[in-house]
Structure 1
Amino acid sequence: MSAMTVESRLLSLLGMLAAGRTYTAGELGAHFGVTPRSVRRDIASLRELGYVIESLPGATGGYRAHSRTVLPPLQLQTGEALATAVGLSLLNGAGLSTTDVESATAKLRTMLPPVMHRTIGDISTAVSVLPGHEPGVDMTAVMTTTSAIASRNVLTFAHEKRRPTRSETRSETTQRRVEPVRMVVLGGHWYLYGWDLTRSDWRVFRLDRMSEIHETTFAFAPRDHPDAEVAVSSAVTTAAYRHTVILEVDATVAETKAWFPTRTATITNSGDGARVEFGVEDLAWAAVITAATPVDFRVIEPPELLDALRDLGQRAAQVSRTGSTEMVAAERSEQ
């Protein structure tokens, strides 16, 4: 056989083994049209190159590539290489750049025709993040967390919880052990949803408030769990605030999302209309948001919102008559 044929066979062999299935030397030999002895030589060659190939004994044993093996050389077509380079450039523009992203982009550029080199450079500058809106996470944190999700391994990390008060924001850091289920991006932040082994409950964690992230080797069995996206939306839009406002509006869910974006409210079907839940620290502000709803609605909770709406109505009426709120302020001082 020519050297090229052997190299092609090694790449195909590595791809089959990395898929997770176990093959015997006989099965592999029959697939490639070579003897089991040749297969064993190929396995030895791959191991010399640094690939971790497991040998499983017994009648049902055989060969399998270790799940942590390094990636084989990729044979990408031009379109595939361009799509990959675009994805890397977008990560860089979104503030998730690392030296690995930069080096991978540089390597992919060498695979592309010269006319596409400028395209990749233009794309890398087409996405930017305004100051103060950076994701606050790095690629290492994302990769470690998503790896634990995919492998169903327990994740440990330090989590900072912030508690706002009237005068300041206090923070508390605790060590957590979590069975990670899903990563959800909402409102410009990355959230981890998983089963907190310490609290024995489902919890939501903001990735930029997690540190010392470590994927353990302790595997866990999947649990039945609520919808991760709904759970994250609820935790972010309602649970984190002092007051929870619940409205029923005479509009479809799609129409309601135009007035209450999903990054600020949880919106679900409710009979012929939609149910809106959102959290606020100040009911006076909730009254402004509620009053601006352009369709018929009903206040379900909290009853205190009705008082806030009444005060807002009086204030609006005064401004509509005089163009000022000063009279309202004077009247209140006399009461």
Structure 2
Amino acid sequence: MSAMTADSRLLSLLGMLAAGRTCSARELAAHFGVTPRSIRRDIASLRELGYIVESLPGVAGGYRAQSRTLLPPLQLETGEALATAVGLALLNGAGLGTANADSATVKLRAMLPATTRESVGDISAAVSVLPGHEPGVDMSAVMTTASAIASRNVLTFAHEKRQASGSETLRRRVEPVRMVVLGAHWYLYAWDLTRSDWRVFRLDRMSEVHETTFAFADRDHPDAEAAVSSAVTTDAYRHTVVLEVDASVPETKSWFPTRTATITKTRSGSRIEFGVEDLTWAAVITAATPVPFRVVEPPELLSALQELGERATRVSRSGTTRPA
């Protein structure tokens, strides 16, 4: 290996240790072409800089850096830098931009060659979100929730429940399982410790999000994505409409968005479930289905379809819904 400066060796050494592998002083000395004594001095220097480097005893022992320590300077190749820039741009484009994301973008652009810097600027300017379509999710709430899910720690927060009569904010204490993005919203699927049941919460209605130090054991739970989809598309509505259509799931999704319906595969096609407050509106959606279908439920939808058909017939004959 060609000779390198002490500073360069220090950075390379930190990168090797942070990868999670345990390396002995003799192995590191051979890799860098120095003596074990030099490696021990380098380890001492890293510790003085604030990096946590563990010394593991025994035959298989050596040095290993904890992953949750200060971040070393990153050395990104062009493709890695562009991928990072895309990720930061998508955060802003999804309405999840933060001051940290903005400062990271500035630092990223400053350290890149001119041509790559222009590409990063192009990416940042190419992604946007229309007013009124921001998810309104607090990034700190997302990060705290994600940490609690990964660590299996109980999560507490205040949740705003909206109803026709008004809204109320209740304290919640849950075992978080998964965050699911559906349509324009982020949802948390969790076991509600107060109600002893699985619940779905919208993140933009959560505040005072706090990860506790109380760990919990895994529970057997339904599929989180299916549960969120069901809660959003059917459970929150007065009527649940179920159709069986002669089309594959991908075909069905092309004209019936999954953010408004739960679509599953059947033996001969697909099953569509969606919720509505008004069956008259459901009749319009059902009648517009472009493939052969069968109404599974509710039976009241058949009457609404009949009324819609009679209304459409009057319009087609006279150009008006008024009786002749």
- TM-score with structure 1 length normalisation? 0.85
Q: Matched residues in 2 for 1:244 and 1:281: separation? A: 9
Q: Matched residues in 2 for 1:316 and 1:325: separation? A: 8
Q: Matched residues in 1 for 2:153 and 2:60: separation? A: 26
My pick for the range that moved more, 315-324 or 51-60, is 51-60
For structure 2, the residue ranges without an aligned partner over 5 or more in a row are: none
- Say which SS state the counterpart of residue 254 (structure 2) adopts: coil
For 1:150, the equivalent position in structure 2 comes to 150
For 1:238, the equivalent position in structure 2 comes to 234
Counterpart residue type for residue 110 of structure 1 = A
Assess, with a 3 A threshold, how the Cα gap between structure 1 residues 23 and 197 changes in structure 2: closer, same or farther: farther
Per-residue CA deviations over 1:73-127 (Å, capped at 9, x if unaligned) read 1111122112212221232233221111111111111222212333222222212
Counterpart residue type for residue 143 of structure 2 = M
Task: Please tell me whether the aligned partners of residues 180 and 192 of structure 1 are also in contact (alpha carbons under 8 angstroms).
Answer: yes
Q: Matched residues in 2 for 1:11 and 1:148: separation? A: 31
Assess, with a 3 A threshold, how the Cα gap between structure 1 residues 117 and 62 changes in structure 2: closer, same or farther: closer
For structure 1, the residue ranges without an aligned partner over 5 or more in a row are: 329-335
For 1:299, the equivalent position in structure 2 comes to 295
Counterpart residue type for residue 123 of structure 2 = I
For 1:137, the equivalent position in structure 2 comes to 137
Q: Matched residues in 2 for 1:194 and 1:3: separation? A: 54
Task: Please tell me whether the aligned partners of residues 81 and 111 of structure 1 are also in contact (alpha carbons under 8 angstroms).
Answer: no
Counterpart residue type for residue 323 of structure 2 = M
Q: Matched residues in 1 for 2:299 and 2:58: separation? A: 70
- Say which SS state the counterpart of residue 174 (structure 1) adopts: strand
Counterpart residue type for residue 48 of structure 1 = E
Q: What's the Cα RMSD here?
A: 2.8
Q: Matched residues in 2 for 1:93 and 1:306: separation? A: 43
For 1:333, the equivalent position in structure 2 comes to none
Is it true that 1:286 corresponds to 2:282 in the alignment?
yes
Alpha-carbon offset, residue 245 of structure 1: 0.7
For 1:75, the equivalent position in structure 2 comes to 75
For 1:105, the equivalent position in structure 2 comes to 105
For 1:204, the equivalent position in structure 2 comes to 200
Alpha-carbon offset, residue 31 of structure 1: 6.6
- Say which SS state the counterpart of residue 245 (structure 1) adopts: strand
Alpha-carbon offset, residue 177 of structure 1: 2.3
Assess, with a 3 A threshold, how the Cα gap between structure 1 residues 117 and 21 changes in structure 2: closer, same or farther: closer
Per-residue CA deviations over 1:248-284 (Å, capped at 9, x if unaligned) read 1111111111221111111111111111100111111
My pick for the range that moved more, 136-145 or 71-80, is 136-145
For 2:10, the equivalent position in structure 1 comes to 10
Assess, with a 3 A threshold, how the Cα gap between structure 1 residues 144 and 316 changes in structure 2: closer, same or farther: same
Count of aligned pairs between the two proteins: 324
Q: Matched residues in 2 for 1:47 and 1:304: separation? A: 72
Is it true that 1:122 corresponds to 2:147 in the alignment?
no
Assess, with a 3 A threshold, how the Cα gap between structure 1 residues 19 and 172 changes in structure 2: closer, same or farther: farther
Query: Aligned runs of 1:1-335 on 2, under 5 Å?
Result: 4-20=4-20, 38-54=38-54, 64-163=64-163, 165=164, 168=165, 170-327=166-323
Counterpart residue type for residue 206 of structure 2 = M
Q: Matched residues in 1 for 2:245 and 2:34: separation? A: 70
